[in-house]
Amino acid sequence: MTAVGAVAPVRARHPVLEVMSERSYRNYWISVFLSSLIFGGARFTWVWLVIKSPSQAALVGGIALGLPHLFFGIPAGVWADRVDRRRLVCWASLAMAVVLALSAWLEHTDRMHLAVACATAAALGTLIAVVQPTQTAMVPELVPRRLHVTGVALQNLAFQSSFFTGSLASGIIIRAFGITAAFAGFSVMALGAAVAILAAKPVNEVPRRTPEVPVSMLRSTGEGLRYMFAEQPRRSLALANIVIGLISASTAILVPKVAESVLGADALGASLLVGSMIPGMVVMTFVIASRPQLRRRGLLFFVGMASIVPQLAILGLSRAFWLSLVSSVFWGAPIGLFVTLVRQLTQEYTSAEMMGRAMGVVHVLSRGTLPLVSFGLLFLTRVVSPSTALLLLSGVVALFAAAIATTSELRRA
């Protein structure tokens, strides 16, 4: 009971509610969610289009769609440090809508053969490579500094959950209405992403690079690479983003093929296997977003990264759909823990002036590795089965985890 004349204590708002109550951040979050959903869903749609051939699936879903990230990810980060980020994302999203509408028409008219699929996938991949680093660099503009960790976690929640939800949505649409409808639906979502980002007006002033003498794109790209790899813990965090790329490659290329050829699943079953990690990832990311002052993040980071190894191994060894599904559901939480903390720690150790270029490097390492790994899988699946390839990939992740675990700066985070 409060004494007469005393002021009742004000209950602190939940960090997630406080961040999401800001209209600008909500619109930003919607744009991120839709863009990532499009990438995950369209990628699954193209892969399913050529699923009978693992090499063609790697060519379309990994190399054609992912290669632009390798070439345009860092330049996109440079642009993000120089231009209006909202307009850049808006125009790229509108172009995505055009590419996806064209893909729907090509599939409807039976013109979507392998070469055309590669061309349209590469066009969408180029636009996504521009959008995602720019969106990631916008977080400091939209949330108070004390809630930056929550803002990054919620952005990662949109990014990761929609990425896997896209595969599930694509499987549902393909089963009910066909591949043409899937491309058309994603085209409409791209229009929504463009509208939403325009309503995400910055609330904070952040330092931007405005040199008296114009700096070339090549020099700016080199600055971003040197910044990320010159010192710890950014160097190890950069390597951790390669692990994210390995996860993406396995879900994009190997898991759908294993589901179809080993487990006997259709498009919906394969997408469900990919999307079954969503609940655990969502819950874990929400928990992290709710605790801006989370302790022992370095230890939790290593635990989450190590959890990827048994997940890939189980998917490679399993011969029962239910076992693979249960495994994916269970391991969603620790994988979500790892991915979220990678994003948080990377931005925490990055200065505002370098945010765009640093995020460009991050997206090259996490998304640009997809075509390189897919190119390797293209040849590997000619020698071994997709299940064996998953086992080999788990061994590669284990080596990365062992190397990164030696970083003392991260253990103390």
52 found inside a domain:
yes
List, for residues 167-224, the tens digit of each pLDDT value.
778 888 888 888 889 889 999 999 999 999 998 888 776 655 554 445 566 777 777 7
List, for residues 261-281, the tens digit of each pLDDT value.
888 888 778 777 877 877 888
Full residue range of the structural domain in which residue 379 is found? 16-202+220-411
pTM of the model: 0.71
Class of residue 399 by CB neighbours under 10 A (exposed 0-12, middle 13-18, buried 19+): exposed
List, for residues 103-132, the tens digit of each pLDDT value.
899 888 888 777 888 888 888 888 988 888
How far apart CA 53 and CA 205 sit, in angstroms, is 50
210 found inside a domain:
no
332 found inside a domain:
yes
Average pLDDT over residues 78-100: 88
146 found inside a domain:
yes
- What CATH number should be reported for the domain holding residue 170? 1.20.1250.20
Number of compact structural domains in the chain: 1
CA distances from 378 to 10, 151, 249 (A): 59, 38, 11
List, for residues 217-266, the tens digit of each pLDDT value.
677 777 778 888 888 888 888 888 888 877 777 776 778 778 888 888 88
347 found inside a domain:
yes
30 found inside a domain:
yes
- Predicted local distance difference test score (pLDDT) of residue 217: 67
154-191: b or e for each residue (b if 16 or more CB lie within 10 Å)?
bbbbbbbbbbbbbbbbbbbbbeeeebbbbbbbbbebbb
11 found inside a domain:
no
10 found inside a domain:
no
How far apart CA 259 and CA 165 sit, in angstroms, is 17
pLDDT at 6 exceeding the cut of 70: no
pLDDT at 285 exceeding the cut of 60: yes
